[in-house]
Amino acid sequence: MPIDPNFETNRERVGEENGVTVWGPVDPPEQLGIHGTHVAVDYDICIADGACLEDCPVDVFTWVDSPGHPESEIKVEPTHEDQCIDCMLCVDVCPVDAIDVDPGRAGRT
């Protein structure tokens, strides 16, 4: 199942990690929630193939550890989502539809 494009309405903001907003539910290590707002990554379905990180022309993503998560032990975090130019390359290359970019959410946290 792809990332919920309405996560801001359907999920609760539960905190922040590395300056990135986290949307729950969160119950580590199995359930890590959605990270980011303008550029959002569903950590629970991310398989960390790295395509988004490699293809992003403005280096929005960085690797972070997610030890014990059933899908992958690392994730791509939208650490620099404020740099996003809304090109949607990350959305297009994600094989599991774990990323959502919404220009309407830019600047919101």
Instruction: Report the CATH number that the domain containing residue 36 is assigned in CATH.
Output: 3.30.70.20
Q: Which residues are annotated as a binding site for [4Fe-4S] cluster?
A: 56, 84, 87, 90
Q: Residue 57: its pLDDT value, please?
A: 98
Let me know: does 47 contact 96? Beta carbons within 8 Å. Answer: yes
Q: Classify residue 96: in a domain, yes or no.
A: yes
Mean pLDDT by 10 residues, the chain (109 residues): 95 96 97 97 97 97 96 96 96 98 75
Q: Which residues are annotated as a binding site?
A: 35, 46, 52, 56, 84, 87, 90, 94
Domain of residue 78: give its range: 7-105
Q: Residue 54: its pLDDT value, please?
A: 97
Q: Residue 105: its pLDDT value, please?
A: 79
Q: Which residues are annotated as a binding site for [3Fe-4S] cluster?
A: 46, 52, 94
Buried b (16+ CB within 10 A) or exposed e, 36-47: bbbbbbbbbbbe
C-alpha span between 32 and 23 (Å, rounded): 9
- How many structural domains is the chain composed of? 1
Q: Classify residue 2: in a domain, yes or no.
A: no
Q: Residue 108: its pLDDT value, please?
A: 57
Spatial CB neighbours of 35, under 8 Å, sequence gap ≥ 6: 17, 20, 21, 22, 23, 41, 43, 75, 77, 78
